[in-house]
Copies of this chain bind each other. A is one copy, B any other.
Amino acid sequence: MRSTDPARTEQVIALDDLYKEFTKEQLDPLWTQVGELMPVQPTPNARPHVWQWKTLLGLAERAGRLVPVGKAAERRAIALANPGLGGLPFATPTLWAAIQYLAPGETAPEHRHTQNALRFVAEGQGVWTVVDGDPVSMQRGDLLLTPGWHFHRHQNLTDSPMAWLDGLDIPFVQQTDSGFFAYGSDTLTDTSRPDRSRAERLWGHPGLQPVALLGERRSSPIAAYRWQHTDRALAEQLEIEREGHPATMGAGHAAVRFSNPTTGGDVMPTIRAEFHRLRAGAVSEPRREVGSSVWQVFEGSGSVLLSGIEHGLERGDLFVVPSWAEYELTSGDGLDLFRFSDAPIFEALDLFRTQVGRP
């Protein structure tokens, strides 16, 4: 229903003119959209979502038969595309997560980029990722790092294919126009297959630093965090809890954070990595955090309550928790989960908040 009051009509016309003028002059009024621009709490477009490992792996194997890796294609990686992000290949507004697949004998060529990367191995083995000339073996349960601007290639030096999870800050870097990329050498220089990288042999001793290489680094120099250490640390937290001393995040809920030994902080400037273990039957406290995260079930089964909807979880399954979405984990007969998030971004910028329990 339109106004017939002439003054009102005149004002409507004037306003209409004004808005047209705004558009013409590349301007936009705040007052028509302040609620959307500055909501009372985060209202992410990204949606909670679960991807099943068996589906991912099946598609990765098909891609392995159909799609080559090499210069230009660079990587046979299949990205999680959050259903709320309009078809973009992003797990969350800041994080990229993909299953990467390398057939026997294949090499993903050398390059480097300012984007920070991690790999988590849910199953399999046989690939060495060569970071700045240091070959790093990939084994089940390991977390591997490729911090920004380090050259890296991946080499499958065995007879079996291998798949793993890639985690990067590609969306964040793209959105903020802050990325650089460079191709590396075409020559395969090192096909040795050491169990442990030089990085681990120098830096992977608890509380010990090599005097010759001291100094604060923006990213962890530990190229690989091995499963045997992670597993043991989690097991000991649950034992110490049983002995009656503080050790766990909540009853039956152990967790370790992967850290940079030169600072005590996160492994990379934009990405946090953790491993969580819930003993059989344990339920985590409900929790909300600013920033988003990607989880992968490593072992066991259970469920996650995500913004009020329950999702069953099996080995290898991946799920995404958007910013400020509530999540609560329930363990079946034991549940081991790897997790990475963008929390360091918000902590660095004084934008981090967390809420534990229900208010």
- Contact across chains for A40 and B201 when beta carbons are under 8 A apart: no
Partner of A208, one of B89, B233, B342: B233
Do the beta carbons of A176 and B28 come within 8 Å of each other?
no
Q: How far is B77's CA from A114's CA once the two chains are assembled, in angstroms?
A: 36
Interface: A239 (CB within 8 A): yes
* Contact, CB under 8 Å: B349 / A21: no
A211 touching B257 in the complex, CB below 8 Å, given contacts A37-B170, A202-B237, A233-B205: yes
Residue of B nearest to A220 (CB): B207
* With contact pairs A18-B59, A115-B38, A240-B198 given, residues A207 and B259 touching in the complex (Cβ less than 8 Å): yes
For A51, what are the chain B residues with a Cβ–Cβ distance below 8 Å? 25-27
- Other-chain residue from B88, B114, B177, B270 in contact with A44 (beta carbon distance below 8 A): B177
A240 CB contacts on chain B under 8 angstroms:
198, 201-202
Q: Interface code A249-269, partner B: CB below 8 Å = 1, 0 otherwise?
A: 100000111111111100101
Query: Which residues from chain B contact A174 at a C-beta distance below 8 Å?
Result: 37-38
- Cross-interface CB contact of A261 among B49, B56, B77, B207, cutoff 8 Å: B207
B residues in contact with A18, CB < 8 Å: 59, 62-63, 66
**Known contacts being A178-B291, A257-B211, is A114 close to B351, with CB within 8 Å?**
yes
**Which residue of B210, B248, B261, B349 is within 8 Å of A269 (Cβ)?**
B349
Chain B residue nearest in CB terms to A217: B264
Q: Which residues of B contact A181 (CB under 8 A)?
A: 38-41
- CB–CB A178/B323 < 8 A: yes
A residues 78-107 in Cβ contact with B at 8 Å: 78-83, 87-89, 93-94, 96, 98
CB pair A38 B170 closer than 8 Å: yes
Instruction: Give A residues with C-beta under 8 Å from B.
Output: 11, 14-15, 18, 21-22, 25-31, 33-35, 37-44, 46, 49, 51, 55-56, 59, 62-63, 65-67, 69, 72-83, 87-89, 93-94, 96, 98, 113-115, 148, 170, 172-182, 198, 201-214, 216, 218-220, 222, 225, 229-230, 232-233, 236-237, 239-240, 243, 245-249, 255-264, 267, 269-270, 274, 290-292, 322-324, 342, 344-346, 348-351, 353
For the complex of A and B, 9 pairs with smallest distance between CB atoms: A28-B89, A177-B323, A211-B255, A31-B73, A348-B348, A42-B177, A201-B236, A30-B77, A44-B177
